[in-house]
């Protein structure tokens, strides 16, 4: 895909190179955002501006103040540093001066490279800025290399250092834990440093997510106000630092977490950091969201234009207890319900140590002969014969101590010598710093696919983080490289998988949302944000997630009641209405449903197919926040604004009814739209009925709003708008 773009007739490439000039402006810009640097008289690179793009580039020359663009440890700098090096001779200080700049443009994407050097040591630093003009976002990362006789040691190695100047700053962070991912919390930042970080190496988004909203002068608002939003593209240990200095300026430093990760860098070796993806908007967080989503569909997620499939999963129905006939029955039910894919989850493998629980068998990727005597191929054929596709669950990075793999290769796991083994979910992590382990993990996928032609989908899971972190492969003096090299090893494996299986659908799962970032999502079609499928909790989980990640890739499943995690009982319609606002799937089994519920589910699946393109490819507009109202609402609008779909949920019953108007957004004010409620529960009266089939202008719906009352506990509405002109 990349090669075809490069050699297309529409390919445009320009190259610009300059040398250091005092006062020179270096402008990194998209259609709306600009990040500007200049060089002072001493040769230091200064960030002079970040904000909305100015119409005339010459105006940037008039900005003659700013901040050190990439401060180093030592010298006069006393605040947080972006780079801290100990040189081969023991010198702990570094200085960087401007050496040159180059840029190249292809397909409206401009990459600017600013080269810096230490005047006293043969150390070079390159800052990269990749500006996506149409999508209005920028990626920034850093590379460092040297020609010193001895190794240098990196102690701090930020990807990005951005500085702002405002009267007040409000930070929205995203945190949680298993089953409560992406919870939002906003606070004002005062003098000092606020650090958000992960130190756990793998599954590193379990407790906090490497993304943020930083609003200037007022709390973050959907449609107004200046906001810097960013997300780090890295699934390993990470760190975000927000330093409000003594003068009231804000410095945002992001990158891999240097905690326990000092890095010895040999001569002529390049150390590359992950990228921070960011944008700056004067129009609030809604604009930020749509920019990230458009970028993701083009660059951040595997084949972002491909329609995502609906699926039925067996996990909550069977867990580890199933056999061939049970699975064949579920495949038949999936086809009858109208799903496009069946996913066989955990428990299908292991013979010496059958995978009948999570205590054993992980790592032994042979089909269990007792459960599936005719192998996976028999099930693939069954799905094909029923007219649907077949998917499989894998967790190739992990191993149970009670497994044949661990018996053969105890040195392949991450653990400290001379210490008691520490397990989570009864499993350990395979050491992906070891090339032999990388080969093995790739072979798990490759063998499964080669032995069972026709598998169309892989759910790639990862259910624990690092503790007792040490590698039998890395040398003793390089143990601090583990967190970084593990992640690089993971990417090596995923590169090989995608190169050989470019068309296979893949879901990114990590016991829920423990590994959700755009460095990893480039390999995957969709992600599983939480094991918590409770529809009420999912409203909050998905609300936070969609600030950065598009709903087209967010798998959302209808599950059984009482919910297996929360024990909450929620009506089927509400569960479907929430799941349909993202990428619909189901864990609830048709065999356990009444005929009435089964028919409702069949109809709902077909209704979803009617709105799927709008949800998966449309622009998201948030209308009412679940954090601020008893009612929440959001909508998607198609690219040409001829269709839209509105989702509204009542979070708490109200005696007199919840009547907040829904002030719609993103419509064409000149177009007229016919309204239709879909997924309707015909057993009960709908308070939307007076509006059914009515036609209103986009101008009316955005200024007067969509007005209907919601009364009942777990009341929900899905409204389709179609152009009537």
415 contacts 422 by C-beta, under 8 angstroms: yes
Residue 673 is assigned to a structural domain of this protein: yes
Using the predicted structure, report yes or no on whether residue 65 has a pLDDT greater than 90: no
- Averaged pLDDT of the chain: 95
Mean pLDDT of 221-230: 98
Q: Which residues contact 443 (CB under 8 A, 6 or more apart)?
A: none
pLDDT confidence of 241, banded at 50, 70, 90? very high
Q: Do 342 and 290 share a structural domain?
A: no
CATH of the domain at 323: 3.20.20.70
- The pLDDT tens digits for 583-595 are 999 999 999 999 9
Report pLDDT digits (tens) over 405-439: 999 999 999 999 999 999 999 999 999 999 999 99
Q: Is 241 among the domain residues?
A: yes
Asked whether residue 221 falls in the same domain as residue 178, the answer is yes
Residue 77 has pLDDT above 80, yes or no: no
Residue 384 confidence class, pLDDT cut points 50, 70, 90: very high
- The domain boundary, picked from 300, 334, 356, lies at 300
Residues 383 and 476 in one domain: yes
Establish if 702 belongs to a structural domain.
Answer: yes
Instruction: Let me know the angle formed at the C-alpha of 557 by 523 and 606, rounded to the nearest 5 degrees.
Output: 100
What are the beta bridge partners of residue 391? 343, 457
Q: What's the whole-number mean pLDDT along residues 46-56?
A: 95
- Is residue 168's pLDDT more than 90? yes
Answer yes or no: is 595 within a domain: no
User: Over 70: is that where the pLDDT of 3 sits?
Assistant: no
Q: Is the pLDDT of residue 276 over 60?
A: yes
- Are 386 and 273 within one domain? no
Q: Is the pLDDT of residue 2 over 90?
A: no
Of 73-77, 625-629, 642-646, the one with minimum mean pLDDT is: 73-77
- Report yes or no on 72 lying in a domain: yes
Q: State which of 480, 511, 527 marks the end of a domain.
A: 527
Does the structure show a pLDDT above 80 at 194? yes
Whether 207 shows a pLDDT value over 70: the answer reads yes
Please tell me what DSSP assigns to residue 510: B
Sheet bearing 643-650, strands edge to edge: 619-624, 631-637, 643-650, 716-723, 672-678, 695-697
Chain segment 700-719, per-residue pLDDT in tens:
999 999 999 999 999 999 99
Inform me whether the pLDDT recorded for 548 exceeds 80.
yes
Contacts of 589 (CB under 8 A, 6+ apart): 312, 314, 316, 317, 330, 333, 560
Q: Which of 300, 321, 347 is the last residue of a domain?
A: 300
CATH number for the domain including 708? 2.60.40.1180
Residue 346 among the catalytic residues: no
Together in a domain, 280 and 211: yes
Check pLDDT > 60 for residue 15: no
> Which member of 431, 461, 587, 668 is catalytic?
461
- 266 shares its domain with 329: no
Q: Specify the pLDDT at position 537.
A: 98
Position 530 scores a pLDDT of 98
Residue 461 designated active-site: yes
- Pair (393, 289) in one structural domain: no
pLDDT single digits (tens) 553-581: 999 999 999 999 999 999 999 999 999 99
Whose structure tokens read 């189901």?
586
251 and 106 in one domain? yes
For residue 596, tell me if it sits in a domain: no
The whole-number average pLDDT for the span 273-280 is 98
Q: Are 280 and 388 part of one and the same domain? A: no
Residues 219 and 352 in one domain: no
Residue 207 maps to which CATH number?
2.70.98.60
Candidate list 531, 534, 619, 668, residue with the active-site label: 531
Domain count, the chain: 3
Cis, bond preceding 594 (omega within 30 deg of 0)? no
Contact status, residue 585 vs residue 538, Cβ threshold 8 Å? no
State the residue range of the domain holding 462: 311-527
Residue 22 scores a pLDDT above 60: no
Nearest Cα residue to 362 out of 318, 392, 323, 401: 401
Q: What is the C-alpha separation between 702 and 225, in angstroms, rounded?
A: 20
Q: Is the pLDDT of residue 23 over 70?
A: no
pLDDT band at 683 (very low <50, low <70, confident <90, very high): confident
Evaluate whether residue 594 is within a structural domain: no
pLDDT tens sequence across 289-341? 999 999 999 999 999 999 999 999 999 999 999 999 999 999 999 999 999 99
103, part of any domain: yes
Q: What is the mean pLDDT of residues 198-207?
A: 97
For residues 291 and 333, membership in a common domain is answered with no
**Judgement on whether residues 291 and 315 belong to the same structural domain of the protein:** no
């Amino acid at each position: 895909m990349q090669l075809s773009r490069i050699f297309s007739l529409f390919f445009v490439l320009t190259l610009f190179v300059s040398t250091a000039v005092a006062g020179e402006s270096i402008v990194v810009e998209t259609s709306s955002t600009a990040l500007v640097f200049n060089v002072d008289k001493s040769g230091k690179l200064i960030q002079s501006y970040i904000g909305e793009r100015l119409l005339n580039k010459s105006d940037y020359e008039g900005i003659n103040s700013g901040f050190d663009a990439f401060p180093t440890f030592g010298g006069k700098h006393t605040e947080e540093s972006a780079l801290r090096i100990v040189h081969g001779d023991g010198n702990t200080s570094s200085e960087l001066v401007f050496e040159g700049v180059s840029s190249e443009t292809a397909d409206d994407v401009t990459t600017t490279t600013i080269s810096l050097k230490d005047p006293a040591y043969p150390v070079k630093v390159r800052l990269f800025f990749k500006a996506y003009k149409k999508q209005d976002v920028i990626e920034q990362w850093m590379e460092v290399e040297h020609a010193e006789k001895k190794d240098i040691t990196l102690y701090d190695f930020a990807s990005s250092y951005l500085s702002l100047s405002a009267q007040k700053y409000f930070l929205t962070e995203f945190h949680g834990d298993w089953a409560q991912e992406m919870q939002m919390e906003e606070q004002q930042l005062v003098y000092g440093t606020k650090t958000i970080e992960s130190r756990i190496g793998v599954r590193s988004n379990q407790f906090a997510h490497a993304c943020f909203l930083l609003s200037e002068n007022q709390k973050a608002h959907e449609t107004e106000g200046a906001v810097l939003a960013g997300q780090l593209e890295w699934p390993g240990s990470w760190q975000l630092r927000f330093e409000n200095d003594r003068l009231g300026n804000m410095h945002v430093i992001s990158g891999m977490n240097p905690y326990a990760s000092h890095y010895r860098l040999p001569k002529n070796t390049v150390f590359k950091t992950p990228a921070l993806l960011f944008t700056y908007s004067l129009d609030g967080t809604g604009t930020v969201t749509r920019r990230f989503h458009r970028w993701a569909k083009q660059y951040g997620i595997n084949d972002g234009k491909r329609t995502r499939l609906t699926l039925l999963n067996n996990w909550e129905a069977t867990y580890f207890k199933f056999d061939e006939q049970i699975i064949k029955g579920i495949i038949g039910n999936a086809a009858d319900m109208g799903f496009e894919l069946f996913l066989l989850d955990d428990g299908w493998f292991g013979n010496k140590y059958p995978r009948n629980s999570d205590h054993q068998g992980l790592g032994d990727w042979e089909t269990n002969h007792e459960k599936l005597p005719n192998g996976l191929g028999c099930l693939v054929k069954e799905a094909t014969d029923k007219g649907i596709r077949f998917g499989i669950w894998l967790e190739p990075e992990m191993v149970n101590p009670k497994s044949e793999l661990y018996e053969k290769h105890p040195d392949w796991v991450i653990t400290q010598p001379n210490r008691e083994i520490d397990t989570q979910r009864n499993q350990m992590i395979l050491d992906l710093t070891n090339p032999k382990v990388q080969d093995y993990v790739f072979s798990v996928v490759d063998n499964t696919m080669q032995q069972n032609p026709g598998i169309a989908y892989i759910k790639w899971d990862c259910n624990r983080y690092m503790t007792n972190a040490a590698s039998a492969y890395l040398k003793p003096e390089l143990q601090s490289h583990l967190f970084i090299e593990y992640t690089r090893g993971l990417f090596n494996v995923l590169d090989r998988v995608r190169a050989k299986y470019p068309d296979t659908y893949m879901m990114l799962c990590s016991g829920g949302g423990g590994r959700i970032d755009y460095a990893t999502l480039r390999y995957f079609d969709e992600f599983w944000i939480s094991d918590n499928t409770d529809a009420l909790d999912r409203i909050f989980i998905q609300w936070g997630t969609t600030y950065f990640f598009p709903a087209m890739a967010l798998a959302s499943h209808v599950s059984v009641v009482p919910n297996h995690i929360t024990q909450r009982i929620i009506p089927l319609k509400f569960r479907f209405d929430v799941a349909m606002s993202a990428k619909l799937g189901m864990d609830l089994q048709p065999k356990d449903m009444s005929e009435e519920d089964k028919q409702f589910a069949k109809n709902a699946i077909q209704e979803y197919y009617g709105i799927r393109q709008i949800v998966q490819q449309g622009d998201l507009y948030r209308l009412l926040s679940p954090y601020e109202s008893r009612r929440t609402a959001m909508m998607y609008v198609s690219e040409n604004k001829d269709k839209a779909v509105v989702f509204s949920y009542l979070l708490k019953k109200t005696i007199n009814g919840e009547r907040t108007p829904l002030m719609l957004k993103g419509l064409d004010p000149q177009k007229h739209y016919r309204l239709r409620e879909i997924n309707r529960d015909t057993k009960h009266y709908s308070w939307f009925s007076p509006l059914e089939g009515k036609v209103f202008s986009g101008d009316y719906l955005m200024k007067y709003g969509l007005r209907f009352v919601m009364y009942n506990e777990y009341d929900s509405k899905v409204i389709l708008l179609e152009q009537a002109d």
